[in-house]
């Protein structure tokens, strides 16, 4: 499926263009990444061996501003996937009305196989290879899969040494001590919670009567589940790569978070007496979680988990996509026909890039904000853009996904038109 991921991502835009007035040049621009960089990174291992790792950076668009997007470490990193992710970042930034285009990058490596010193050397070596292509006004990387604040700190420090000046605005998602923003770590989950909260207002949901299942219990899924739990929602199931737990009466989310972070698996709370003994909980698989009879399903892990094979068995009436691309185009159509509301990934998980933007602004101004101020700004922007999308969807009888992509095309199209298209030059 990965080899077609970029074309599938473009398919969303093509479908949205059928419902909006979009210039042909806008779509053509979005079909072609601005730049694609491939590098090799020689790494001296702790035992003296030399290994070479492949690294990539895809800059999809700079029509609205410098490129922005994560760097991931994963054995399966490839250009096709990164092109799709970079396109989604372009869409996400346009949707949130941020002065950014999209980018994505990574290194094909299993970071768990490296020592901490090897990981630092790899991170610094990667930045030396791509330093000429990134920077605060060109392309600003951030954490992604299997990278974190510490790695961003190493990368920022290495970039600063290359350019001979301290440059915290070249990276976001850094440790707070190195110029990172308060509120960044939980921003993606917080943004997803805001979407659920605003949708609840439109649907007159009662929190205590609304059931939620969360697939994926990393940083993003944990934060969303925590906020929902604290605000009265009944979180009845969560899962990670090892499986999940389900309790129809509601899970103790804070205890699950502790179990996950201390023992590495959410099921430990229900399976290990040293952590807890919840008699009503049952162990379930990730596949079973997706098909539970709940009000809200939150896929917060991998792409394509909701597909043509299981879309017909999804019982949730609302899906909040905190993962990137968790629903295939085929599944999207099936769920739409069944009346399931999907809040798309480019909206639901945009909290992370929004606070990355705030971090960049703070770095460039030298003025740093309290966490409550960061979250207040995030809350307002997520709330505003969510309601713009939902109003467009209602006005044009579109799904929220098509409304979101239509708004993306409108905003990027305005930039394309401002520079002049064939209509401007025709006849000159």
Q: Which CATH architecture has domain 187-339?
A: 3-Layer(aba) Sandwich (3.40)
Per-residue pLDDT reduced to its tens digit, 170-228: 999 999 999 999 999 899 999 999 999 999 999 999 999 999 999 999 889 999 999 99
| pLDDT of amino acid 249 | 94
| pLDDT of amino acid 278 | 44
| pLDDT of amino acid 276 | 33
Confidence of residue 269 (pLDDT cuts 50, 70, 90): low
Torsion angle in degrees (nearest 10) through CA of 416, 421, 423, 427: 160
Q: What average pLDDT does the segment 402-408 reach?
A: 96
Whole-model pTM: value is 0.92
Confidence of residue 321 (pLDDT cuts 50, 70, 90): very high
Containing H/E element for 373? Answer: helix 371-396
Asked whether the domain spanning 187-339 has the same topology as the one spanning 2-169, the reply is yes
**Measuring CA to CA, how many Å separate 190 from each of 289, 310, 376?**
22, 28, 11
Q: Which residue ranges make up each domain of the chain?
A: 2-169, 187-339
| pLDDT of amino acid 427 | 59
pLDDT of residue 12 exceeding 50:
yes
- Among 104, 174, 260, 267, which one carries the catalytic annotation? 104
Per-residue pLDDT reduced to its tens digit, 334-384: 999 999 999 999 999 999 999 999 999 999 999 999 999 999 999 999 999
Residue 83 among the catalytic residues:
no
Q: Does domain 2-169 fall into CATH 3.40.50.10860?
A: yes
| pLDDT of amino acid 274 | 29
For 289, the token pair is 């979680």
Confidence of residue 8 (pLDDT cuts 50, 70, 90): confident
pLDDT of residue 277 exceeding 70:
no
Say if CB 351 and CB 195 are below 8 A apart.
Answer: no
DSSP string, 162-226: HHTS--GGG-SS--GGGTPPTT-TTHHHHHHHHHHHHHHHHHT--GGG-EEEEE--SHHHHHHHH
Per-residue pLDDT reduced to its tens digit, 94-152: 999 999 999 999 999 999 999 999 999 999 999 999 999 999 999 999 999 899 999 99
Burial (CB < 10 A; 0-12, 13-18, 19+), residue 252, is middle
């Amino acid at each position: 499926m990965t080899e077609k991921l970029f074309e599938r991502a473009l398919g969303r835009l093509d479908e949205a263009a059928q419902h909006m007035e979009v210039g042909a040049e806008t779509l053509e621009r979005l079909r072609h990444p601005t730049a694609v960089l491939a590098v090799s990174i020689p790494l001296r291992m702790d035992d003296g061996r030399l290994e070479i790792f492949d690294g990539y950076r895809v800059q999809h668009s700079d029509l609205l501003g410098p490129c922005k997007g994560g760097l991931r470490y994963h054995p399966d990193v490839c250009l096709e996937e990164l092109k799709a992710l970079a396109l989604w970042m372009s869409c996400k930034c346009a949707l949130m009305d941020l002065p950014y285009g999209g980018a994505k990058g990574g290194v094909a490596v299993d970071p768990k196989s490296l020592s901490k010193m090897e990981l630092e050397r790899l991170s610094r070596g990667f930045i030396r290879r791509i330093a000429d292509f990134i920077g605060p006004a060109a392309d600003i990387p951030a954490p992604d899969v299997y990278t974190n604040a510490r790695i961003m700190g190493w990368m920022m420090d290495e970039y600063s040494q290359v350019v001979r000046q301290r440059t915290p605005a070249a990276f976001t998602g850094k440790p707070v001590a190195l110029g990172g923003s308060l509120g960044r770590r939980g921003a993606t989950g917080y943004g997803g919670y805001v979407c659920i909260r605003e949708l609840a207002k439109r649907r007159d949901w009662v929190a205590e009567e609304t059931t939620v299942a969360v697939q994926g219990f990393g940083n993003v899924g944990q934060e969303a589940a925590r906020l929902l739990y604290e605000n009265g929602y009944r979180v009845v199931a969560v899962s990670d790569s090892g499986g999940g737990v389900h309790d129809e009466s509601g899970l103790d989310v804070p205890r699950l978070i502790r179990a996950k972070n201390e023992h590495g698996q959410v099921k430990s709370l229900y399976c290990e007496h040293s952590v807890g003994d919840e008699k009503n909980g049952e162990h379930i698989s990730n596949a079973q979680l997706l098909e539970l009879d709940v009000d809200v399903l939150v896929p917060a892990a991998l792409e394509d988990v909701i597909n043509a094979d299981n879309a017909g068995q999804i019982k949730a009436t609302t899906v909040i996509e905190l993962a990137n691309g968790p629903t295939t185009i085929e599944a999207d159509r099936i769920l739409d026909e069944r009346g399931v509301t999907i809040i798309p990934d480019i909206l639901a998980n945009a909290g992370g890039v929004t606070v990355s933007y705030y971090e960049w602004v703070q770095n460039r101004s030298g003025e740093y904000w309290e966490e409550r101020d960061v979250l207040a700004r995030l809350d307002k922007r997520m709330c505003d853009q969510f309601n713009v999308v939902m109003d467009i969807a209602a006005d044009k009888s579109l799904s929220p996904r098509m409304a979101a992509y239509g708004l993306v095309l409108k905003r990027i199209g305005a930039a394309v038109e401002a520079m002049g298209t064939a209509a401007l030059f025709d006849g000159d």
